Amino acid sequence: MKKIRSTTILALRHNGEVVVAGDGQVSLGSTIIKHQARKVRRLYHDKVITGFAGSTADALTLYDKLEQKLEQFNGNLLRAAVELAKDWRTDKYLRRLEAMLIAVDKEYSLLLSGTGDVIEADDGILAIGSGGPYAQAAATALVRHADLDAEAIVQAAMKIAGSICVYTNQNVVLEKI
CA dihedral (73, 52, 36, 23) positive or negative:
positive
Name the residue among 150, 146, 107, 100 with its Cα closest to residue 125: 150
What Å distances lie between residue 133 and 23, 107, 125, CA to CA? 14, 24, 11
**10 Å Cβ neighbour count for 33?**
10
Return the active site residues.
7
DSSP structural state of residue 170: S
CA of 118: how far to CAs of 45, 153, 164, in Å? 22, 24, 28
Q: Measuring CA to CA, how many Å separate 4 from each of 45, 65, 147?
A: 28, 20, 32
Closest CA to 111 of 125, 90, 94, 95: 125
